[in-house]
Amino acid sequence: MSITTYEEPTMEKIKPTSASDLAEADTSARSIFTSQTGQTLIALGTLFKHVPPFNETIDKSTVDTLISIGRKLKGLK
């Protein structure tokens, strides 16, 4: 006969974060999101510009606008 023991899981103590730490994390997440959104807009604009089914139906000014906005967003940090 075997005896099964149960160990209580230990909880790590979490250091309280300050308002500045939270603001820094929020700014960092926003910066990453903005940069990725810019990269996505550039990719879509490039796709629309160079792939035949898209470049025949989507106006060139729309493509240029997407790429321009994407570059601005990607450049923000």
Q: Answer for the pair 63, 49: CB distance below 8 angstroms, yes or no.
A: yes
The pLDDT assigned to 69 comes to 96
- Is 6 contained in some domain? no
For residue 38 the two structure tokens come to 């810019």
- Is 43 contained in some domain? yes
10 Å Cβ neighbour count for 46?
A: 14
Task: Answer whether residue 77 shows pLDDT above 60.
Answer: no
What's the Cα-to-Cα distance from 33 to each of 14, 36, 39, 51, 53, rounded to whole Å?
26, 5, 10, 26, 29
- Is 12 contained in some domain? no
Q: What is the pLDDT of residues 1-54, one digit of tens each?
A: 677 777 777 766 666 667 676 667 677 888 999 999 999 999 999 999 999 988
- For residue 54, what are the contacts with CB-CB under 8 A and spacing of at least 6? 47, 48
The pLDDT assigned to 33 comes to 92
If one counts the domains in the chain, the total is 1
**Model confidence at 62, in pLDDT bands (50, 70, 90)?**
very high
Domain that holds residue 58: 29-75
Gyration radius of the chain over CA positions: 24
